[in-house]
Amino acid sequence: MTPIQEFFKQEMSRRGDLTSKQKQILEASLTLFAEKGFEKTSTADIAAMAGVAEGTVYRHYKTKRELLLAVLAPLMAVMPNMVAEFDENTVRKPITTLQEFVQNLVRDRLEFLDVNYKEVKVLAGELLFNTDLRREFINSLLSKTEVFSDLTKTLDRLKAEGKVVDWPTDLILQFTLSTLIGFVGRQFIELPSELTKDQREKMTVAFLVKGLTP
């Protein structure tokens, strides 16, 4: 499992105290929110899919919106890490080339985005119009991408060694993240391609490596 995915699982298991009903409810909510969007999902739908009574949903979550937040909470907690953390220990030797750096990042994050596709979709839809949540999300993001984050440190080192172009870290992250999102987004809209996913992943790495070379 990739490091980020690992983080996520830990976050989820922190909720080990969830009853089975709660899990069913969260699962159903996630699925339906991802499928039809939050607003178009009725609590009756959720109850039906979860196989519980509507009242049961409200016994565990005071409002529908609270249910949404519960669904998003693990992701909200991990997302900033996804942008800021970088686990050098998963590879034997420390990162010494841009190629290594990008490759690690891409593989790790792509899988995460892929596996947690539903959560990401729901979060995206919510961030689009929910100003409050957006603000909160950005703040937690900013608090993570500080100078001493793993990723920042690794990047700075590579910059110092002249292995990465000397642009602000946040811009580099922006390019990287948007390229990754583009990759996943493309799958999402199911655009056909003459290439395999692996080939596209390789080219994505190549694109980033070249783009970020000084």
Give the residues lining the site for DNA (CB under 7 A): 19, 21, 40-44, 52-60, 62-65
Other CB atoms within 10 A of residue 211 CB: 13
Report what 11 binds from DNA, a second copy, none; CB cut-off 5-8 Å by kind. none
Q: Minimum CB separation from DNA for residue 77, in Å?
A: 23
Site for a second copy in 94-123 (CB under 8 A): 121
Q: Which has the closest alpha carbon to 44: 64, 69, 73?
A: 64
Q: From residue 189, how far is each of 17, 30, 184 by CA, in Å? A: 36, 19, 9
189 binds, among a second copy, DNA, none (CB under 5 to 8 A by kind): a second copy
Contacts of 41 by beta carbon, 8 Å cutoff, 6+ apart: 29, 32, 33, 35
Structural tokens at position 83: 């942008």
Closest to DNA by CB, 129 vs 143, is 129
Alpha-carbon torsion 103, 200, 119, 26, what sign?
A: negative
Q: Please tell me whether residue 65 binds a second copy under the rule CB under 8 A.
A: no
Binding to a second copy, residues 142-161 (CB under 8 A): 142
Question: Measured from the CB of residue 122, what is the shortest distance to a second copy in angstroms?
Answer: 9
CB of 10 to a second copy, least distance (A): 26
- Report the alpha-carbon angle 31-36-40, nearest 5: 115
> Torsion angle of alpha carbons 210, 169, 127, 78, nearest 10°?
100
Smallest distance from DNA to CB 97, Å:
51
User: Which residues would be at the binding site for a second copy (CB under 8 A)?
Assistant: 35-37, 39-40, 121, 124-125, 127-129, 134, 137-138, 142, 165, 167-168, 170-171, 174-175, 177-179, 181-183, 185-186, 189-195, 200, 203-204, 207-208, 210-213
